[in-house]
Amino acid sequence: MQNTNFETYLFPNGTIDACYLNVTLNVPCKQESVPPIGVDIRKPEDAQAAINFARRKNLRLVVKNTGHDYLGRSAGRGGFLLWTHHLKDKAYNATFVPQGAPSTQTYEAVTFGAGVQWQEAYDYVDEQGRFIIGGLAQGGSVGAAGGWVMGGGHSAFSPSLGLGVDNVLEFTVVLANGKLVTTNAYQHPDLFWALRGGGGGTYGIVLSATYQTHPNFALTTPTIQVNFTSPEIAQSVVTELFRLHPDLSDAGWGAYTWVFPEAMMAIFVAPNVTVDEANKRFEPLVSHAMNATGGAVIYTAPAFSNFTAWWKESFQGGPPQVGGNVEISSRLLPREMAKERPEEVARIALSLGVATNSVAGGAVSRVDPESTGLNPSWRKAIAQVYIAEIWEEGANSTTILASRERLKQGTDLLDKLTKDSGSYLNEGSLYERDFKKSYFGSHYPKLKKIKDKYDPSSLFVVASGVGSDEWDAELRCRK
């Protein structure tokens, strides 16, 4: 797992079943929440046989790709594992036609096996001289055709080119009855709708995903760092940041931002923007920060000839972010909140210390909210704001539970950013008061209906997933 806390098993009495990476802790290695047995899927028949076996034997099924999940959905104590990591096929088709579509409907598309990771995907798409919307993480280790896209799939380029769910054209899936189907806008369109936002591990095993690609582009990445010497200065600068945010999103700018009482940093990106254009665009924010702080601002705007050059410099070199003990909680920041009450957004952000993924608005908002199963809150949002709790490996249950309590309290404060508590399923917490509302919004009833159609015996169940409330906390027995 990426975050090993989702493998560690905490008993109600506070005892911990673990297998720590740090062997000097001298804790005997236990099975914890790692499924003890499973299938390493290499071809469709493996997935079909494993699913049929699990269904007949009534097993608790766990689908795992990279194990990056922040809800622990790719682990499961005592489960039967289906591992997709080795499905590494990649194919480029300059005239791809979705099955069942008119022959004139062509795309320059790539098809990835479910185990392909973003680093491999970017390398491959770059070889074709194209660009693809994908996850942006150190080392590129997130899966390109698994939980990322089924939960939404954001990128800092989403304000220009949409989310993963807006770019995927087709999936091949093994269903709970063992059948292999191809689903897209023309074949099993209800399933295609649900797979785009209804979440991983819920509707079947995806074996491949086909995405449209885009022409590569030059880009400029303005970066601003500001040190705050007083709460008033921090409030002033961060308010200006959120006040400008909706217009930046509409113009296609994405960003990753960290806001704390002592300092903030933001890295903006947008395709096809020159340094001059970027400087002009960010002049109001930089001037405001300069005036407010008396000059405690570092602003740079490096330019790159294409996405790959930026990706290599920013993400490729570093180690993958593995082995942490991390839980997060997030809210989708509505455009109207930033537009009408930037002071309040800034006050909440500063009081919590938040990271902001500015990955919505712009192209994301221009998509019909009903066209995919994704929580419609995404279409009104401009960003995803999140908080994190981190603890040391080997921490006792008191420490872990205290972290979780802080996360819950922080979520209550984050909630003031939204009216509908909209959150990102792939970067959320297990402690939502109403997970259906937070992760799926008004799409939940339709997502559940489609789940009941394609998975009537509920073979595929994950924490906080569609239909999961019909199961006990361990997802082993129906309530």
* Sites of contact with ligand FAD (CB under 6 A): 2, 63-70, 73-74, 84, 114, 135-137, 142-143, 146-148, 151-154, 200-201, 205-206, 321, 426-427, 462
Q: Tokens for 460, please give them.
A: 């595929």
Q: How far is the CB of 296 from ligand FAD (least distance, A)?
A: 30
Residues sharing a CB contact under 8 Å with residue 90, sequence separation 6 or more, in sequence order? 110, 111, 112, 113, 116, 120, 121, 124
Nearest Cα to 269, choosing from 151, 131, 128, 423?
131
Nearer to ligand FAD, 220 or 330 (CB): 330
Q: How far is the CB of 171 from ligand FAD (least distance, A)?
A: 9
Q: Tokens for 118, please give them.
A: 């973003």
Q: How far is the CB of 460 from ligand FAD (least distance, A)?
A: 8
Q: How far is the CB of 384 from ligand FAD (least distance, A)?
A: 9
Nearer to ligand FAD, 196 or 288 (CB): 196
What 3-state class would DSSP assign to 441? helix
**Helices assigned H by DSSP within 10-115:** 44-57
Q: How far is the CB of 141 from ligand FAD (least distance, A)?
A: 7
Q: How far is the CB of 256 from ligand FAD (least distance, A)?
A: 9
Contacts 24+ apart (CB under 8 A), 336-341: 336/380, 337/417, 337/418, 338/242, 338/243, 338/245, 338/246, 338/382, 338/383, 339/243, 339/246
Nearer to ligand FAD, 228 or 471 (CB): 471
> Is 351 within 8 Å of 380 (Cβ atoms)?
no
CA pair distance 233, 242, nearest whole angstrom: 14
Nearer to ligand FAD, 43 or 419 (CB): 43
What 3-state class would DSSP assign to 51? helix
Q: Tokens for 282, please give them.
A: 């960010």
* Three-state SS letters, 255-285: EEEEECCCEEEEEEEEECCCHHHHHHHHHHH
Q: How far is the CB of 209 from ligand FAD (least distance, A)?
A: 8
Residues sharing a CB contact under 8 Å with residue 417, sequence separation 6 or more, in sequence order? 331, 333, 334, 337, 345, 348, 385
Nearer to ligand FAD, 173 or 350 (CB): 173
- Please report the beta strands in 27-103, taking only residues with DSSP state E, as ranges in sequence order: 37-40, 61-64, 80-83, 90-96
Nearer to ligand FAD, 147 or 410 (CB): 147
Q: How far is the CB of 143 from ligand FAD (least distance, A)?
A: 3
Nearer to ligand FAD, 20 or 157 (CB): 157
Q: How far is the CB of 126 from ligand FAD (least distance, A)?
A: 18
Residue with nearest beta carbon to ligand FAD: 200
Nearer to ligand FAD, 69 or 240 (CB): 69
Q: How far is the CB of 34 from ligand FAD (least distance, A)?
A: 13
> Is 357 within 8 Å of 154 (Cβ atoms)?
yes
DSSP3 helix / strand / coil % (the chain, rounded to 5): 35, 25, 40
Q: In the 8-state DSSP scheme, what is residue 361?
A: S
Q: How far is the CB of 11 from ligand FAD (least distance, A)?
A: 23
> Is 48 within 8 Å of 6 (Cβ atoms)?
no
Q: Tokens for 75, please give them.
A: 């682990």
Nearer to ligand FAD, 137 or 266 (CB): 137
> Is 226 within 8 Å of 264 (Cβ atoms)?
yes
Nearer to ligand FAD, 206 or 259 (CB): 206
Nearer to ligand FAD, 327 or 427 (CB): 427
